[in-house]
């Protein structure tokens, strides 16, 4: 434990001691255990309650229902949030229900539940109805913020929906669920105990609090309140810890751990556009473009910035629809995008293996990366690498995938002259006869790659 952590803990303990002292002084000043039990009386009753043989059954009764209601709300809220994210119809159908759950007072819900289901199950259902809207809305909001560009990259490399969920969607959604659960866990215990207090099912915490109120046992009331707060805090911390662990676990499950046998690369495929209009949202950037590369041919676009090189590459990759004309694409593609698209929490090897499973073993991936990167860069999350190193990870990823064609959008940007030349040699070595379409601001790349110079004008 570092010095700042120790200091923070000491400050909190000092604050607690201060308020306990204020409580004790107030108890002595009031002079009535019925009006205000002192901390010492509360502690004595707390020890007596916890030591009694009835405590664990009472604790289990309330815990099982409150925790069960919260977990049901979490599972259903996340599941329906995913469905609502994919279907506007489901989102519209759920909107009135979610609004009703958010707006109706807990006391009204509890009274209705007492009529419908009785007192023993009322707390679990009340917790579910309280927690569900927050978790559902957090899921919808989180999924709406997931980086679409990373999803596009994974789809280009043929990563299946389950591994896309594990590697990208779930880690992106997780911060929203953690933030919401931090509040919802505490609110679940408040709603659950309040429901028990109204319904007073025998053997529950709420029933014991109600009895303390009826019998004017203020020390018991305070003691049970301390128990509820402590159990609520422990449940919150345990659930949040488990929830946070799902992020690293999902990433580990998305990437194959064991080496896999090398797979034969796909046969090279041609790239051809005829009278094509390319652009975004119906607005053309390029019009009447005719361009072709035979299977296995190499072409380098050397036009100036803003002429549509990235638009062309994204259209060939199938990420943008052509506005007019025809575009012929190979069946499989690998790509280096203009901007960085990496899974930041994974290291270089796992970023390559995530999309290249079945093409190279882990040893092969490491060997390929060592042709581009220093060894010390391989075991670190890519978020810690420099811009040039991250660019080379993306280049290795594209080369590792067994595609029919390779699309490279300024792949050597952020590289110094020596590293640039090294990367060009690696591309030539590992192209393996595939069709190459690349954009570059370095005219010398045309001859270095033994390619044909292409122009969009």
Q: What is the pLDDT of residues 341-398, one digit of tens each?
A: 999 999 999 999 998 766 778 889 999 999 999 999 998 999 999 999 999 999 999 9
- Residue 258's pLDDT is what? 55
Q: What is the pLDDT of residues 407-452, one digit of tens each?
A: 999 999 889 999 999 999 999 999 999 999 999 989 999 999 999 9
Overall average pLDDT of the 273-300 stretch: 93
Confirm if 123 and 206 have CB atoms less than 8 A apart: yes
Q: Which of 348, 342, 363, 102 is nearest to 258 (CA)?
A: 363
Cα distances (Å, whole numbers) of residue 225 to 20, 202, 262: 15, 18, 62
Long-range contacts of 163-167 (CB under 8 A, 24+ apart): 163/254, 163/354, 165/250, 166/250, 166/251, 166/253, 166/254, 167/250, 167/251, 167/254, 167/255, 167/343, 167/346, 167/354
Token representation of residue 167: 């590697």
Distance CA 133, CA 139 (A): 10
Task: Label the pairing between strands 324-328 and 271-280.
Answer: antiparallel
In sign, the C-alpha dihedral spanning 315, 320, 325, 326 is positive
The pair of three-digit structure tokens given for residue 17, joined into one six-digit string: 């001691």
Helix (H, G, I), strand (E, B) or coil at 258: coil
State the Cα–Cα distance between residues 9 and 367, nearest whole angstrom.
Answer: 48
Tokens at 24, concatenated: 């004790």
Q: What's the confidence (pLDDT) of residue 265?
A: 64
Q: What's the pLDDT at 264? A: 60
* Residue 8: pLDDT band with limits 50, 70, 90: confident
The pLDDT confidence band at residue 216, using thresholds 50, 70 and 90, is confident
* Most trustworthy range by pLDDT among 260-264, 266-270, 386-390: 386-390
Confidence of residue 326 (pLDDT cuts 50, 70, 90): very high
Nearest to 310 by CA among 438, 453, 452: 438
In whole angstroms, what is the distance from residue 321 CA to residue 318 CA? Answer: 7
Instruction: For residues 95 and 84, give the distance between their C-alpha atoms in angstroms, rounded to a whole number.
Output: 10
Question: In the structure, what pLDDT confidence band is assigned to residue 82 with cuts at 50, 70 and 90?
Answer: very high
Mean pLDDT on 74-85: 97
Q: Among 67, 73, 74, which Cα is nearest to 123's?
A: 67
Using CA atoms, how far residue 171 sits from 75, 256, 374, in Å, is: 16, 17, 28
Residue 263 pLDDT: 53
Tokens representing 291?
Answer: 């361009």
Residue 320: both structure tokens together: 């943008």
Give the pLDDT mean for 165-179.
Answer: 96
Higher pLDDT, 409 or 26: 409
Using N-to-C axis directions, what is the helix angle for 122-144 and 55-86, rounded to 10°? 30
State residue 295's pLDDT score.
94
């Amino acid at each position: 434990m570092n010095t700042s952590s120790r200091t923070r803990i000491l400050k909190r303990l000092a604050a607690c001691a201060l308020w306990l002292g204020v409580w004790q002084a107030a108890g002595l000043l009031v002079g009535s255990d019925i009006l205000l039990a002192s901390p010492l009386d509360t502690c004595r009753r707390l020890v007596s309650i916890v030591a009694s043989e009835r405590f664990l059954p009472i604790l289990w009764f309330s815990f099982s229902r409150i925790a069960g209601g919260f977990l049901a709300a979490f599972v259903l809220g996340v599941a329906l949030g995913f469905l609502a994210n994919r279907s506007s119809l489901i989102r519209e159908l759920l909107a009135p229900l979610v609004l009703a759950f958010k707006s109706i007072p807990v006391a009204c819900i509890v009274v209705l539940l007492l009529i419908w289901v009785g007192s023993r199950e009322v707390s679990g259902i009340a917790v579910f109805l309280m927690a569900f809207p927050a978790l559902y809305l957090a899921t919808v909001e989180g999924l709406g913020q997931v980086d679409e560009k990373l999803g596009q990259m994974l789809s280009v490399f043929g990563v299946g929906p389950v591994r896309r969920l594990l590697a990208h969607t779930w880690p992106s959604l997780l911060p929203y669920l953690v933030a919401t659960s931090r509040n919802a866990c505490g609110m679940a215990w408040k709603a659950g105990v309040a429901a028990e207090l109204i319904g007073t099912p025998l053997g529950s915490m709420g029933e014991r609090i109600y009895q303390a109120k009826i019998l004017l046992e203020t020390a018991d009331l305070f003691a049970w309140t301390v128990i509820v707060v402590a159990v609520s805090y422990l449940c919150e911390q345990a659930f949040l810890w488990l929830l946070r662990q799902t992020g690293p676990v999902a990433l580990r499950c998305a990437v194959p751990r064991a080496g896999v046998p090398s797979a034969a690369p796909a046969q090279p495929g041609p790239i051809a556009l005829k009278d094509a209009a390319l652009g975004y949202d119906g607005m053309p950037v390029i019009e009447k473009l005719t361009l072709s590369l035979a299977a296995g041919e190499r072409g380098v676009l050397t036009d100036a910035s803003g002429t549509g090189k990235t638009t062309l590459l994204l259209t060939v990759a199938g990420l943008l629809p052509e506005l007019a004309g025809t575009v012929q694409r190979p069946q499989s593609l690998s790509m280096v995008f203009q901007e960085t698209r990496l899974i930041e929490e994974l290291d270089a090897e796992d970023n390559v293996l995530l999309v290249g499973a079945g093409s190279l073993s882990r040893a092969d991936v490491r060997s390929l990366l060592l042709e581009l990167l220093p060894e010390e860069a391989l075991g670190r999350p890519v978020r810690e690498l420099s811009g040039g190193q991250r660019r080379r990870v993306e280049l290795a990823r594209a080369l590792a995938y067994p595609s029919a064609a390779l699309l490279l959008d300024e792949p050597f940007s952020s590289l110094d002259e020596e590293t640039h030349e090294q990367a060009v040699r690696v591309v030539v070595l590992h192209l393996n006869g595939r069709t190459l379409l690349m954009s570059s601001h370095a005219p010398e790349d045309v001859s270095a790659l033994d390619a044909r110079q292409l122009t969009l004008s």
